[in-house]
Structure 1
Amino acid sequence: MASTETRPAPLPTGLPGIPGLFDPPFVADPFPTLAALRSTSPVHFDPGTGLWLVSRYADVRSVLLDPGTYLPDNAQHSVTPLPVRVLRILARAGFSLPPALANNRGADHAGLRRLVMRFFNAERVAAAVPMVEQTAAEMLSGPRSRYAAGDRCDLAAEYARLLPCRVMMRLLGIDGVSASTLATWSDAALELFYGHPPAGRQLHLAEQVGAFHQWLTAQVSSAAAADGLIGGLRRHRKPDGTPLDAATAVAVCFFVFIAGQSTTGQLISTALLRAVSDPRVWSRVAVEDGFAEAWVEEILRREPPVTTWRRVTARETELSGVRLPAGAQLLLMLMGTGSDPEMFGDPEQLCPHRENIRHHLAFGAGRHRCLGASLARTEAAVALRAAARALPDAALVEPGTQPPMLGLLSFRAPLQVVVHRHSGR
């Protein structure tokens, strides 16, 4: 049943003729706005959100590499103020997220990163490739049968959304909960904290987030949690030798579970959509060594799942000729940096194997660079290749039509990639 609740008014950017960051035109096609920001106002105050939008590659990279001036404290703050009723729901669930990873500038940050990185380093990811391939094959069996019979299938909802969750559960030794439940909880957290939902929707999302937090707390507190990430967190010691507190351990898991599966699923959905839109690309993905990896890299540059990230100034400073006061809230337009012509030639074109492709900022840079970059790259390439091989001659059911998009402040991806067998190929 459709909701009759009024959605909050769109948030303007303050640029004449430019849509707000949550407006449907921006969500559908953010590139004109990003280009306008880069060329006319690269450090631009957005009155709708109270954020300073930083859009040029050089500026964003300099911010990420200067954690003393630009602090990560606001990285996980709620974009839309949470009303009292929502806060009460979260309080009843015992919800608390002390600084742990993305928003942590404390002395314990480096040790926590090293701990988590043990589960996502290149050696472990390489060893996990057969498991990822097996999981992808299992998940494609149903869509493949329906596809062969002439039916349509939604590769975003049925495949991309749940594959990373199943892989992560196997990597980290998580059981006792379904992948669908974990994905639902993760999606709810992203929407609650990075979205612009109406008040009634916030209440529903808060219930989901509270359930997620309670489940994580139970896992961290369980005597059986001796292995995997949770076991490692329970054995971890802070720089002063004291055990890691349960609240911080839960905060680490909260961030890792969301980053390790929701954003990777979004990357896979976008890579699938852009590849299946071009029959030549779809064919090359299936048969050409290294092409899936190169395609994923270009998607990361042009349409990364994490489109923005936040920082706050520790003191008054200057960026690209603009004076920023202490406490200024910055929104780093990661997606815009991948299309900066000062850095990438022909940025609007997807050019696999471009010379400087690894220089994009989709995973950030510096001390807070994404811990799961290797896994995300590998998993997306495996998922893309497996789908192209399982569904040859696939085509979008509605070619040339923009599917519904996830449009949060920091996350963007197609919610549907509906394909069928194209008999004309």
Structure 2
Amino acid sequence: MKNSAQSHCPFHASNKRNEEATEFDMFGAEYQHCPASSLQSFREEKPIFFSEKMNYWVVTRYADIREIFRDPVVFSARNVLEKFTPDTPETAEILRSYNYGMNRTLVNEDEPIHMERRRELLDAFEADKLEGLRELTRTLVTQKVDEFIGLGKVDLMATLLWDIPVIVALKFLGVPDDDISVLQQYGVAHKVNTWGRPSPEEQQHVATNVGKFWHYSGDVLERMKRNTDGQSGWMYDMIRKNQTNPRVVTDNYLHSMMMAILVAAHETTATATANAIKHLLSKPKLWQKLHHQPELIPAAVEECLRYAGPIVSWRREATQNVQINGVNIAKGDKLFLVMAAANRDPEQFENPEELDILRDNASEHLSFGYGAHQCLGRNIGRLEMCAFIEELTRRIPDMTLSKQTFTATPNTSFHGPEALWVEWNPEAIKGTETASVFAIGNPDKRTIVRQAKVVAIHTVATDIKEIVLASEDDTLAFPHWTPGAHIELHLPNGLNRKYSLCPSVNTANYSIMVKQEPEGKGGSMWIHQNLKLGDKLPIQGPKNFFPLQSHAQPVLLIAGGIGITPMLSMAEQLTRENKAFRLLYCGRTRDSMVQNHQLKKYEQNIELFISSEGKRLNLDAELKTSPPGTPIYTCGPEGLIHEIQVLAERYHHILSSELFTSQSNTLNPEKEHAFDVELVDTGKTYHVPRDKTLLEVMLDNNVDVPNDCAEGLCGSCEVIVLGGGEINHRDHVLSVKERQSNKRMMTCCSRASGKITIKL
């Protein structure tokens, strides 16, 4: 037990918050009811805290958890399967009687053997190798739904979701049909044994089932070993590798992985689907939307995994003294990573408490983990979830949730209902339409768009138009957004352009301002010359790479030209919160600067610098006289931002900046160099040709890489560089020191002079 844990923590929360942190219990009612909401205030005030009651550091922010997942050496996975409730002597004796010896699996072993084994297992999980499971899953789902569709009311967990994932998993493994019914009953026992808090009496019952699970799966494995000729399935592949490479694929490893895959593939998929259906039915318009537009189902699956994933937390152990986001973690300390809280982090996901099936970055959720330990079976889970939801929305569009009290098995890491009662009118069921078929894997985010309609166009300055957009979809209103957010327009001329959102008179609408740029690529020119009232445009977002944080000190806003657009929403928010701020707005001529009702509201806070009138902003003098630590937000031309960056560092200010556009992702194949990249997470080497980016190559090979702007502006696609050639950095994210270290790169734009080794 730690005695000085709180002394490590630099966050000055209230005494009450400190007491709550010290006594935090993952088995408490609030966490068990909803892990994400129970940690919301901690994430905001004390994102890394030590629970003396549980003897764990609890980590809640997205960026922190992703960094921990990225480093499996410093943050070992050895404690993932460590029991929260130690065995009693009686329980230990029961397990010994079954020769229980589950040891290391992919989820809880360290490097270098973890990656060596993982490489032996990867190929069978690639998207193109899973096509055989598609028809099996579809057939099983259709048969089950046929059995109950005339009833009008069922528990979906009992009649559909609980059985099929384990059957699919066992078929994937190659387990004989006769053994399927026996093995599928043991998954819950393993979950409670590892992540639960059973009473001494319950422990004995659980241990008995775990022992039976181990013993029977061992018998099945031995029978499979004796008859491998002509047999197919993942376990048969591993048995053959056990014979040719027994050092890496050991006998115990085969046995342990059989149990681990059954639990992972069964429990998580069933729970993930139950969570998804529960939340989609809680908003009937979403269920109807998927009935009419089934092509949105893969995106809805990713959003449901973000909003209410089945695995809410995972664990790590520090192998050395380390600091995470200013918090000192000692060697041997245990960390409890709450992905459910991270998946609702507003610094990563705009409007995170809303279930938004058109959120185009939902697949950046951490429900599958990240990096070297990312879930191998994630595409099997996606395939099954899509099949369940497609069949039900297509055949039972009027399905509703029955009145019920949801219960779950108490544990720390898995979350979902034990039962899911739904009902519908069986007399309204009609003939089935042709089932939709989805690509296996992460959905293409470029296809996840909202339909918008132009409802107003105003000229607000020379060559600047305000475009007001309304949702074209009556069932899905535009989501809320925060200051600094933007949307991306998909224009008919094939160009996509991002524009900051501005305050709108009608808060249900989105307002943007577009400056005509004759020297640009044609996006703004098309808008100025062709866009008219009533036109419809696909848009993506909102997303926010430039968020306004909460500050105690007065805030300084600096805008150059059209860079005023994000500042308008920031000024409005600061005014609403009665926070002190100054807005310095620079432009060439008065006519070229936005002069509308919004700016007039902040006249006392604004100072204009118009070069044609002889008034220029002296940035050095301004930042030199500002109190150290002044929060500065700036948007404008690259030259302006660069100058402010230099001065902010010199005078010790806190700077956030955003560029209009970037040419970072513009490739000239005649001048580029091809290069090779070894990705340690897969053990494979990929060739990046002259006419493609590293990001494009990885996405083409079904590597789940978070990505967003594709212009080197947001930092989403950053990877760790472990060695090799020099990086040609073309992003606007990394600092000078970070570039010189050659340890990170943005895959959407930067390139390498020779072969490099990276990890996600």
TM-score by length of 1: 0.90
* 2:413 matched residue in structure 1: 410
Counterpart of 1:200 in structure 2 is 201
| Mapping for residues 93-242 of structure 1, pairs under 5 Å | 93-147=98-152, 152-177=153-178, 179=180, 181-222=182-223, 223-225=226-228, 227=231, 228-237=233-242, 242=247
CA 1:362/1:296 → structure 2, altered by over 3 Å: closer, same or farther?
same
RMSD: 2.4
1:2-151 → structure 2 map (5 Å cutoff): 15=20, 20-147=25-152
Residue number in structure 1 paired with 2:470 = none
Question: For residues 238 and 49 of structure 1, do their structure 2 counterparts lie closer, same or farther at Cα, with a shift above 3 Å needed?
Answer: farther
Q: Describe the superposition over 1:52-72 as per-residue Cα deviations: whole angstroms up to 9, x where unpaired.
A: 101100100000001121011
Between the aligned partners of 1:368 and 1:243, the Cα distance in structure 2 is 17
Long gaps (5+) in structure 2: 1-16, 429-760
Change (3 A) 1:423 1:146: closer
Kindly indicate whether the alpha-carbon contact (under 8 Å) linking 1:75 and 1:310 is maintained by their aligned counterparts in 2: yes
Structure 1 residues 314 and 238: alpha-carbon distance in aligned structure 2, compared to 1, 3 A threshold: farther
SS in 1 for 2:125: coil
Q: Which residue of structure 1 lines up, in the alignment, with residue 650 of structure 2?
A: none
Partners of 1:100 and 1:118 lie apart in 2 by 17
- For residue 93 of structure 1, report the CA deviation from its aligned partner: 0.7
Q: Distance in 1 between matches of 2:209 and 2:228?
A: 23
What is the CA–CA distance in structure 2 between the aligned matches of 1:324 and 1:352, rounded to whole Å? 37
- Higher RCO structure, 1 or 2 (CA under 8 Å, sep 6+): 1
How far did 1:418 drift?
0.4
What percent identity do the matched residue pairs reach? 24
Q: Per-residue displacement from partner, 1:280-308 (whole Å, max 9, x unpaired)?
A: 22222233132221111111111110100
- Cα distance 1:298–1:424, how it changes in 2: closer, same or farther (>3 A)? farther
2:320 counterpart of 1:320: no
1:311–1:330 CA contact under 8 A, matched in 2: yes
**1:7 match:** none
Q: CA deviation at 1:126?
A: 3.4
Contact residue 160 and residue 269 of structure 1 kept, 8 A = yes
What is the CA–CA distance in structure 1 between the aligned matches of 2:246 and 2:102, rounded to whole Å? 22
Cα distance, 1:242–1:330 mapped onto 2, change above 3 Å: closer
SS in 2 for 1:323: strand
Over 3 Å counting, the alpha-carbon distance change for 1:318 and 1:121 in structure 2 is: same
Q: Say if 2:280 is the partner of 1:275.
A: yes
Partner of residue 3, structure 1: none
Residue 89 of structure 2 aligns to which amino acid in structure 1?
V
Identify if the C-alpha distance between structure 1 residues 214 and 267 changes in structure 2 by more than 3 Å, giving closer, same or farther.
same
1:165 deviation in Å?
0.9
The DSSP-based 3-state class of the residue aligned with 2:151 is: helix
User: What is the distance in 2 between the residues matched to 1:38 and 1:16?
Assistant: 11
CA contact (8 A) 2:299 2:358 kept: yes
**Aligned counterpart, 1:5:** none
CA–CA separation in structure 1 for the residues paired with 2:19 and 2:243: 45
Match of 2:395 among 390, 399, 412: 390
Please state if 1:329 is matched with 2:330. Answer: no
Q: Which residue of 2 aligns with 1:420?
A: 423
Q: Deviations over 1:158-206 (max 9, x none)?
A: 2111111111222222225565543320111001110111111111111
Calculate the TM-score normalised by the size of structure 2. 0.51
Q: 1:180 to 1:195 in 2, by over 3 A?
A: farther
Larger Rg: 2
CA contact (8 A) 2:339 2:367 kept: yes
Query: 1:96, CA displacement in angstroms?
Result: 0.8
Change (3 A) 1:337 1:239: farther
Give 1:84 shift. Answer: 1.1
Paired with 1:241 and 1:175, the residues of 2 have a C-alpha distance of: 24
Structure 1 residue 371: Cα displacement: 0.2
Q: Confirm or deny that 1:287 pairs with 2:292.
A: yes
The code of the aligned residue for 2:191 comes to: L
Q: 1:180 to 1:45 in 2, by over 3 A?
A: farther
Aligned to 1:6: none
Bigger Cα displacement from structure 2, 337-346 vs 133-142? 133-142
State the AA in 2 paired with 1:231. Answer: Y
